[in-house]
Amino acid sequence: MTRTPRGLRAAALGVVLALFVTACSSSSGSGPAPSSTGPGPVGLNLEVVSYPSDAAGGTLQLVSSAPWSSLDPARSIYSSDWDFMRFIFRPLLNFEARPGAVRLVGDLATEPAVPTDGGKTWKYTLRSGVKYQDGTVVTSKDVKYAIERPFAQDVIDGGPTYTLCLLSPCDADGVPAYPGPYKDKSPDHLGLSSVETPDDQTIIFHLTKPFADWNFVMALPGSTPVPQSVDQGPDGGANYQQNPVATGPYQISQYEADKITKLVRNTNWDKATDPFRKALPDDVVVTMGISPNDEDSRILTNQADSTVEGTGVQVSNQGTVLTPQYQSRRADGSTGTLRFLSVQQTVAPFDNEHCRRAVQYAVSKSSIQRARGGPYAGGAIAISTYPPTLEGYQPPPDKYPNGPDSTGNLDAARSELQQCGKPDGFTTNMAFANVKKEEDVFQSVQQALARVNIKVNPAQIDQDGYSDVIGTPTEVKKRGLGIINTNWAPDFPSPYGYYHSLVDGEAILPQGNINTAEINEPEINSLIEKSLTATDRQAYLADYRQVDSLTMDQAGIVPYLHERALVVFSSRLKNILFLRAFGNYDFQAMGVNQ
Amino acid sequence: MTGFLVRRLLGGLIVLWVVSAITFAIFFMAPGDPAVAYAGRAPSPAAIKATEERLGLNEPIPVQYWRFVSGIFVGRDYVSGADVTHCPAPCLGYSFKTNENVSELIGDRLPVTISIALGAAVLWLVAGVAAGVVSGVWPGSVWDRLAMVFALAGVSLPIYFTALLSQQAVVYKWRWIPAIGYAGFRDNPLIWGRNLLLPWLCIAFLYAALYARITRASMIETMGEDYIRTARAKGLRERRVVLKHGLRAGLTPIITLAGLDLGGLLGGAVIIEYVFGLPGIGKLAVDAIGGQNLPVILGVTLVAAAFIVVANILVDILYVVVDPRVRLA
């Protein structure tokens, strides 16, 4: 073995250092520490459209780190996918392209329906002159056919299933009577009798029971018309997601799953029939399967305009993004997600509400906020479950004041422990995913509760199996998961959509359960049930504020953050418009400077 | 020779069979209901039931395993009521949630991984062996010292370090090339090459270092042999002495290593693919593991194992061809 002479070692070190220096000189250091007092806009004001422009042309470059959940409008489950689909699909209704309060407008239909028959009958009139990308005119039968598709859950699965039991009687297992258009015996595959199409421009839905939020369901991509001729052929059914037919201003010109999606203009889209789309760019390119760090690098160097996910920049890039240089290119919108701890009454000693309240008082919400990225990248501290961006929000009373700096109210916690018969504390398990931020949240909770002798043991669960485990109540009880770190964002921005899955006793499922805390309060259940037949919107909203209040009384949910995401855009992006409905930016509104 | 081939192939098949059985078993030892995992996020009861029926998940496990294995050779039919989907051979099943044909997925991604692996292999072999030969023939020279410094750096720096660093420097700081994605060779060979240049260089940096050191050691040993002195005494040109007589003998360990390394890389250069966003089977495996997409994991594992088995057999054959002193066992 030859000895390595000293000169050689020095040279080797030099090579390594040279590489280091090159890389490190590119970072501009961390920016000013964001203020921990209240999250005002850290960049763009999201109540207005930033950089408004009507200039057409150019290619919009989007990046994504994950594949689409599906490009089949009936099978997609991510809100970022639904946001992107505004380029290509026109469901019956859609969210108006304006910031601020959510507003439903007629997209394919002329306007949202006013229900009759006690909230069971909903009639829509279609706009005339809307065509598919091949020039065929869209009729109400195409919408009916599209609505029928998800009934074939063996083929068209993965998307929202709100329509199933509302348009067809379901058995005890939740399987609807109507088998779907592929097994439909009627000659034109339009056998779903609860949906009427008296003429080509009219469609009427007869629901099995009143459902006040039906308009929101019709704003989901699933009501986008699907041509039978395509769907009943070899390119339809389970394969439809490879090349769905467009009704919007753009159509798919190239799609390779998890690699690239390219859109070009749909020449058969008529702007005169469209309520809000401007269709400024000539093409749209979504480069997919990029690592999250790479996404940030591309946007910061103007090689891409925006991400699709809208979940925020990587922690390592937050410092860079918060420097003054990016002030005019960054924003932190509310994603509409509530982050909270679920405290299970099925796991002792949390069957006693005072033990649950002890947790409410003892956690340090500001510490958790720091763990999740601070007020800009993590979110605003939550004192109740009602999201500030949801219709009907009013500042709620603070039922469990968390101390002067939101670091916890230990005296109140100890008093609650006395009342639940555990003055010396107790031991429990906390479930969290094996992701850095979640581990940090666990650490924070563990340390905070240790101050009042509540010993919290870690139950770390794999990220992607996470929702399956915590969504199975028997599994939760078996593993003794007293505290679960989780989050919730509704499929549509209505209080029913938000609260039903979260706190309705009727919504507790053996699998895929969202009501993790297994809250089953008769008063909450009846308020939610009652809201389905509500005719007075203000009374409806007041009822849900009451649901929020009762939920906090039950103490099974310890809300800690109304989540925000710190995002950055390229310097050439125009019409940056924040849609509260998606907690994301309206892609179809975007334009690019050339 | 035929006897040798048959024995090795049989051995290879047994290895693959064991790999498939173990991976398949994990399928069922994983927590949760496979039907739920297949069906997608928060599946409706109707979806779960339909999935169970279609995939035959209620059948006994040995039967399911048999269906899986026979599917690889003859294809498989998935029956759901009156609807029959035929999955042509080699059928590796369908992925969870997105229901894509795993064989098609892998087939789609393999060219990317092959491009990365082969391109890098050419670079590292040429660079590594050449550097090693020169170092070995003139040990202690300036060239030797320089080459060994680079070799030290290449071997010590982890590949995620070089990949991330070079990407940040070359793509984002100095902007010598635009952001790296993947373009097919047939679409545009120049862009294909430009995109793969950095991945090739990162991999080659690591492996060339290894090969340079091994070649150097091998050359030093060989050049000290008596027959080299004889060849020189006979008056042969130095170049012929080095290459035909020296390198030829020293090549055997390099061939073994190159075959195994290439076989391993074909299973997916995971870190490179992830950092540079290249859609190869390495990235497919990482995404599948993250998403607990067992059918895809099973498929990629089998394919990667197959590559290594084949590489092993080929290397053994090449060994005999290059070095006549070796007999086939």
Q: Which DSSP string corresponds to A527-594? A: HHHHHTT---HHHHHHHHHHHHHHHHHHT-EEEEEEEEEEEE--TTEE-B-EETTTTEE-GGG-EE--
B153 and chain A: CB distance < 8 Å anywhere? yes
B155 and chain A: CB distance < 8 Å anywhere? no
- Condensed to tens digits (0 to 9), the pLDDT of residues B197-235 reads 999 999 999 899 889 988 888 888 888 888 888 888 888
Which residues face A574 on adjacent strands?
Answer: A591
Q: Which residues of A touch B82 (CB under 8 A)?
A: 183
- What confidence category does residue B82 fall into, taking pLDDT thresholds of 50, 70 and 90? low
> Is residue B288 within 8 Å of residue B270, measured between CB atoms?
no
> Is residue A180 within 8 Å of residue A189, measured between CB atoms?
no
A529 phi/psi in degrees, rounded to 5: -60, -45
**A463 vs B308: which has the higher pLDDT:** B308
- Is CATH 3.10.105.10 what the domain over A334-565 is classified as, yes or no? yes
B189 and chain A: CB distance < 8 Å anywhere? no
Question: What tokens does B322 get?
Answer: 């290059």
Q: Where are the domains of chain A?
A: 21-31+73-238, 334-565
Mean pLDDT of the B289-298 span: 80
Q: What is the pLDDT of residue A33?
A: 39
Q: What is the pLDDT of residue A81?
A: 95
How close does chain A come to B210, measured CA to CA in Å?
16
The CA-CA-CA angle for residues A219, A220, A225, to 5°, reads 90
Question: What tokens does A295 get?
Answer: 């996404």
pTM above 0.80, yes or no: yes
CB contact under 8 A, B274 and A287: no
Q: What is the dihedral of CA B302, B303, B306, B311, to 10 degrees?
A: -150
Facing B45 at nearest CB: one of A174, A293, A300: A174
- What is the C-alpha to C-alpha distance for residues A428 and A483, in angstroms, rounded to an integer? 8
Question: What tokens does A172 get?
Answer: 């005890």
CB contact under 8 A, B290 and A464: yes
pLDDT by residue for chain A (594 residues), tens only, comes to 344 444 445 444 444 444 444 444 433 333 333 333 344 578 999 999 999 999 999 999 999 998 898 899 999 989 999 999 999 999 999 999 999 989 999 999 999 999 998 889 999 999 999 999 999 999 999 999 999 999 988 788 888 889 999 999 998 877 899 999 998 889 899 999 999 999 999 999 999 999 888 999 999 999 999 999 999 988 888 889 999 999 999 999 999 888 899 999 999 999 999 999 999 999 999 999 888 889 999 999 999 999 999 999 998 899 999 999 999 999 999 999 999 999 999 998 999 999 999 999 999 999 999 999 888 889 999 999 999 989 899 999 999 998 889 999 999 999 999 999 999 999 999 999 988 889 999 999 999 999 999 999 999 988 767 888 899 999 999 999 999 999 999 888 999 989 999 999 988 988 888 999 999 999 999 999 998 888 788 989 999 999 999 999 999 999 999 999 999 999 999 999 999 999 999 999 999 987
Q: What is the pLDDT of residue B155?
A: 86
Q: Which residues of A touch B283 (CB under 8 A)?
A: 289
Which residues face A286 on adjacent strands?
Answer: A62, A261
Q: What is the pLDDT of residue B32?
A: 63
The CA-CA-CA angle for residues B162, B164, B168, to 5°, reads 115
Q: Give domain A21-31+73-238's CATH architecture.
A: 3-Layer(aba) Sandwich (3.40)
Mean pLDDT of the B116-137 span: 90
CB contact under 8 A, A465 and B168: no
CB pairs below 8 Å between A and B: how many? 147
CB contact under 8 A, A164 and B44: yes
Weakest-pLDDT range from A49-63, A514-528, B118-132, B255-269? B255-269
Q: What is the pLDDT of residue B43?
A: 66
Question: What tokens does A244 get?
Answer: 């769905």
ipTM for the predicted complex: 0.76
Q: What is the pLDDT of residue A463?
A: 75
* Chain A residue at shortest CA distance from B170: A23
The per-residue b/e assignment along A46-73, b for 16 or more CB within 10 angstroms, e otherwise, is beebbbeeeeeebebbbbbbbbbbbbbb
Question: Mean pLDDT score of chain B, rounded to an integer?
Answer: 84
- What is the C-alpha to C-alpha distance for residues B271 and A347, in angstroms, rounded to an integer? 42
CB contact under 8 A, A511 and B49: no
CB contact under 8 A, B97 and A158: yes
Q: What is the pLDDT of residue A335?
A: 92
Provide the residue type at B312 as one letter: N
> Is residue B94 within 8 Å of residue B88, measured between CB atoms?
no
How close does chain A come to B43, measured CA to CA in Å?
7
Q: What is the dihedral of CA A450, A454, A458, A463, to 10 degrees?
A: -100
Q: What is the pLDDT of residue B224?
A: 83
CB contact under 8 A, A154 and B283: no
Facing B81 at nearest CB: one of A183, A238, A465: A183
* Chain A residue at shortest CA distance from B30: A465
CB contact under 8 A, B98 and A77: no
B244 and chain A: CB distance < 8 Å anywhere? no
B175 and chain A: CB distance < 8 Å anywhere? yes
Weakest-pLDDT range from A99-113, A139-153, B49-63, B125-139? B49-63
Alpha helices in A197-247 (DSSP H): 214-217, 228-231
B54 and chain A: CB distance < 8 Å anywhere? yes
- C-alpha separations of B278 from A294, A427, B231, B270, B282 in Å: 12, 47, 49, 10, 9
Give the residue from A72, A99, A57, A62 showing the smallest Cα distance to A587. Answer: A62
How close does chain B come to A532, measured CA to CA in Å?
22
Q: What is the pLDDT of residue A2?
A: 40
List for chain A the helix, strand, coil content (%; round to 5): 30, 20, 50
Q: What is the pLDDT of residue A4?
A: 42
Facing B152 at nearest CB: one of A12, A77, A174: A12
Q: Which of A254, A468, A509 to mutate to test the interface with B (most CBs of B within 10 A)?
A: A468
The fraction of chain B above a pLDDT of 90, given in percent, is 16
B80-87 own/partner pairs: CB under 8 Å, 24+ apart: B80/A154, B80/B50, B80/B53, B80/B54, B81/A154, B81/A183, B81/B53, B82/A183, B83/A154, B83/A155, B83/A182, B85/B54
CB contact under 8 A, B149 and A164: no
